[in-house]
Every structure is written in structure tokens, then in C-alpha cells.
A and B are shown apart, each in its own frame.
Chain A
Amino acid sequence: MLSQRWLRLMPLHLMLLPALALLLIYSYGPITGILIAFQNFMPSKGIFGSPFIGLDNFKYVWDLPDTRQVLTNTVVIAFFKIILNLAVPILLALLLNEVRIKLFKRSVQTIVYLPYFLSWVLLGGILIDILSPSQGIVNDIIKSFGFKPLFFLGDPNWFRFTIVATDLWKEVGFNTIVFLAAVTNANPSLYEAAVIDGANRWKQTLNITLPSMLPVIILLATLSLGNVLNAGFDQIFNLYSPQVYSTGDILDTFVYRIGLIDTQYGVATAVGLFKSIISCLFISVSYFLAYRLANYRIF
């Protein structure tokens, strides 16, 4: 009896084996590197020979005069990115689901994911043009409504908004894909039943499509919570400037610019570890809450 059960489970362990082996080597192998966060790392001595200095690396970053401002910027920008990068793609997937003309649907799908493939270096140059207060097309539109032009990239009050909006513009198409797959999750027979009951499209969307997408939405929401300290290095690095440091400088750009990445490995690793711990906290809490309250395992 026992051995029969074991025989039945054996393939499941076997299926996990390749992935586990790869993770063991390439993810858990380097994990000892976390120790560097507590060291004054010296290349000549390596991870196991460098002297330990406790929490000094963390303290050093914390004591820098700009750290608190930078953390605030990071969390604010990341928070709005997380919300919008979930909500808008879901909306877009639902809207696309309503499109009956196949060619149109496919074209829109393909086109909106175009910007995802252009780098921020390139988009940075284009955005400076588009958003320019004097010549940019966006401000031309704003001016035509009789408003004063906005310096989206140079005004500290608008910079965060610009970052979140342009990020959405670049990523929305790509983020929609997974929800388009989730839409297909709904059982067609439910729609048929709903039509017979006289439910309109809106009711169907609300009562059938959305609930069937829910597991994926919850999964993505949980995982994206882990990004609460990732506000997007590449984007901000290519778009910011001294005049918007006060609202636009984030943890990653800050650490990069003050040169910690280059040689102060201890400090750089400490920052990374801090981010990991925060992510882990958010994800674990949501995982266990979902499990306790709804008896649902997110993953």
C-alpha cells in the first residue's frame, strides 16, 4: 500500500529534479554572496576570508543624508507603478476581449506591445522631444486647451507622474498578454448559461470573466508587491536630471550614482539584501494571509 503510493509520487519528484538541480547550482550556489553584506569585502581574500563588520554597511547607507528622501521616492513611484501596471493591463485585456473583429484585435495586441522592445536610452531621447514644453506634441495639445505647458521631465512636481505614465506606456502591451491568456480560462458553458439568463455583457464580464481571471490576478499582484523597492533603474537613469533629484532619485540610481556599485561591494550587497528582505516580507505576508483567511495557496 505504502510502496504503491510511493510509486505514484515518484514521478512527481523526478519531474522536479532538473529544475531543482539547476536552482541548486545557479541560484543557491551563489547565495553565500549574501555574506558580503556584512563584510568589508576584499577581493584578494574572497567571501570566506574577508573580515566581518556587522551591520556597518547598512548603517553607512542609512546615515547618508539623502537616503530617507530616496526611499520615499522609491516607494511612491513603485507603488503607483504596481497598481497601474496591474489595473490597466487587466482593463485592456477585457476591452480586447470585447473586440469581435479578429484582425483588429490581433493588430492592436501586436502594436501596443511594440514599445516594450525599445530601450530606455532610445525612448529617453524621443520622450524629451514629445514632452518638451516648447515644441512637444503633448504640450501642444495641452496648450490648445488653453492651459500652460508642463515641463514633465524637468518639474519635480510632475516627474513622478511622468515616470509612472511613461512606464505604463512602454509596458502595458506586454503586461496584457498574460491576462489575455487568463481570459480564455473562463468556461464557455458559463457564458451560454448567462446568456440564457439574460445577463448582458457587462454582467458577464463582472460575474464570469473577472472571477475566472482571479487566480492569475492574485498571483501577479502578490509577486509585484515584491517590487515595492524596485522603481525601475533603467528608466529613471535615462530620464532624470539634477533638477528632479528631489522627487525622482530612487534607491537604485542613488546607489549607482554615488559609486557604490563600482567597488564597495559590501554596501552594494547590503542594499540588495535590504530590498530582498522587504520583498520577502510583503510576499510572505500576502501568501499566509490568503492561506489563513481564504484557505487559498497563491502558489
Chain B
Amino acid sequence: MAGQTSFSRIVFNIFNYGFLALLSLMALFPFLNVLAVSLSNKSAAAAGLVKLWPVEFTFASYRFVFLRDEFFTALGISLERVLLGAALSMLVTVLAAYPLSKEEKAFPGRTLYAWIFVFTILFNGGLIPWYMTIKMTGILDSLWALVLPGAVQVFNCLLLLNFFRGLPKALEEAAFVDGANHWTILWRIFIPLSTPVLATVTLFTVVGHWNSWFDGIILMNSPNHYPLQSYLQTVVVKMNTSTFANIDPVQARLLSEISDRTVKAAQIFMATIPILLVYPFLQKYFMAGIVLGSVKE
């Protein structure tokens, strides 16, 4: 049997590994470019001469970043945000997904609830009312402003409830017979059996918090309170030169500093490393299909 499939299997494997390797190369390219620029001479980078290999290798840009506090202050805030935000978000989302995963018969009203949730991803009142609401709840300029308003991730919730629905009903029923309640069933059966999707949703939540920058700029009242991506946004701006005509000479001298691509690249590179480390860590939870099988028997 093995021999029968092997030839086509080998051809497939060659194609498959080759394709995936090619894809990886394409994905790696911009990242290597950023790394190369960050390690290059400033004017060579400005001249667009750096491709995949540094030109006139130097650590100057990293030295520049390390000498200033801003990057690390913002990094600290981002880490706090991700920890608090992901914990909070996972908690409310998992709690909501469980009841929503029930059949309408078992939990009358779940469909109405589900639409109440979905409605919020379809309609929103716009920027101004959103800002005013957050201001009214008194959390402006605090970490809570970045964490509470978006805590219910409806998309993640729908994803979770879909996976929860796929779990064997027999387990739940047996547990009820044994006298378990909904809390124990969620904690003892659903969560342990859903590690792949929980890992996925955790990753989404963490990445979402890590990447969002707009709320930081709007909801924080001082640049010192910006999370990392909001801070980067102020650094990696496109130069809009239309108001430069009236620039002050003291400021003008610093123009070449903010247009310095090597420093920007160094900060982008450093800001991407932490989030990249999260994924491999979570990857081991993607293998849990086996657990499900063993439970079933």
C-alpha cells in the first residue's frame, strides 16, 4: 500500500516543499530589507542603495534608539496593554462563546443574543460618539481606554462558538448526569478540548492589541503614554512637506534626523521581534486534535 502511493506522493512532496519554501522567501524579503537598512550607513539608505545586505555595516541606528527612552517606555506600555487586554478579552469572550454555542432549544434566546453581538460589528456610531462615550466613562488617558472598549471581540467569539459546537454532545450530557454544572463543563471539558482554537483566538487578541495604534493616539493625552505602535506611527510617518516652507532653522537641522531611514528601520525591526516570538510559543497548542480523539473513545 505504501509503495502504491509513493511515486505520486514524492512528486507532491517535492512540489509542496518547494512551493512553501518559495512562499517563505517572498515573505522574508521585506523583513530582511528592513534589517539590512537598519544596519546600513544613513546616506546610503537615503539613496535607496540598500537591498538585502547592509551597506557600510554599522550599529549606529541601534545605538541611537537605545540612547533614548521613548522606545522602551512605549514598549513597556504595549506589554502591559497586551497582558491586561488579552486576559480581559479572553475571559469575556470565552464566557460569552459558551452559552452562544448552545442550540436554541437548549438555551432559548441565544439567537437573539448572537445577533446583538453581530450587530456591533456591522454598525457603529462613528469616531466622535465613540470618543465621547469613552470620555464619559472616565477612562481616557489610562490603560483601560485601550483595553475595555474593545474587550468583546465578536469575531473571536463567533469563531469559538463554532468550535464549541463541534464538540461531542455526549460528553456534556454525561457530565450533567454526573451532577456537573455549566461552569464546570466549560472549565473542565470545553476549554481543555479547544486548545487549538483557544490558541488561535489568543493569538488574534494579542496581535490585535499589539498592532493597534489609532486608539492610542486618540485616547491618550500625552505622547509619553503611547503604546509602541502609536509611538512608531509618530516616527515612521510619511514626510508631508507641505508646511515646511515656514520651518524654523533649528528644526530644519533636525529634518535629516527624522527622515533617517536606518533609525526607523531599527525601531520597526525591534518592535516586530516580541510579537514574532508569541506565535512559535502558541504553535504547540495547534496539535491538539489527538486529544480530542482519545477523549472520544
Nearest Cβ on chain A to B188's Cβ, whole angstroms = 14
Q: Name A's interface SS.
A: helix
Chain B residues in 8 Å Cβ range of A215: 162, 165-166
Inter-chain CA distance A30–B9, complex, in Å, is 56
Pick the residue among A96, A122, A180, A185 that contacts B34 (CB under 8 A).
Answer: A122
Nearest Cβ on chain B to A276's Cβ, whole angstroms = 5
Smallest Cβ-Cβ distance to B166: which chain A residue: A185
Chain A residues in 8 Å Cβ range of B159: 178, 216, 219
Chain A residues in 8 Å Cβ range of B297: 189
Inter-chain CA distance A255–B191, complex, in Å, is 44
Given the contacts A180-B286, A188-B290, A215-B165, A95 and B16 also touching, CB distance less than 8 Å: yes
Inter-chain CA distance A196–B163, complex, in Å, is 28
Inter-chain CA distance A112–B120, complex, in Å, is 31
B24 within 8 A of A: yes
Give A105-148 as 1s and 0s: 1 = Cβ < 8 Å from B's Cβ atoms: 01111111111111101110010011000000000000000000
Looking at B129, B186, B211, B292, which has the most chain A CB atoms within 10 Å of its CB? B129
Chain B residues in 8 Å Cβ range of A9: 107-108
List the one stretch of B61-69, B247-255, B268-276 in contact with chain A.
B268-276
Inter-chain CA distance A136–B36, complex, in Å, is 18
* CB within 8 Å of A: which B277-292 residues: 279-280, 283, 286-290, 292
Nearest Cβ on chain B to A193's Cβ, whole angstroms = 12
Q: How large is the interface on B (under 10, 10 to 19, 20 to 34, 35 or more residues)?
A: 35 or more
Give A1-20 as 1s and 0s: 1 = Cβ < 8 Å from B's Cβ atoms: 00000001101110110111
A22 within 8 A of B: yes
Pick the residue among A119, A188, A276, A299 that contacts B161 (CB under 8 A).
Answer: A299
Listed in ascending order, the chain B residues whose CB lies under 8 Å from chain A are 1, 5, 9, 12-13, 16-17, 19-21, 23-24, 26-31, 33-34, 48, 51, 91-93, 95-96, 98-100, 102, 104, 107-108, 111, 113-114, 116-118, 120-126, 128-130, 132-134, 137, 148-152, 155, 157-159, 161-163, 165-166, 181-183, 186, 196-197, 199-200, 203-204, 207, 211, 236-238, 268, 272, 275-276, 279-280, 283, 286-290, 292-293, 296-297
Would you give 14 A-B contacts (Cβ < 8 Å), ordered by A? A16-B100, A27-B124, A28-B120, A31-B125, A33-B124, A95-B16, A110-B283, A114-B272, A115-B27, A117-B276, A122-B34, A177-B200, A177-B204, A297-B104
Listed in ascending order, the chain A residues whose CB lies under 8 Å from chain B are 8-9, 11-13, 15-16, 18-20, 22-23, 25-34, 36, 47, 92, 95-96, 98-99, 104, 106-119, 121-123, 126, 129-130, 169, 172-174, 177-178, 180-181, 183-189, 198, 200-201, 212, 215-216, 219, 223, 226, 238, 265, 268-269, 272-273, 276, 279-280, 283, 297, 299
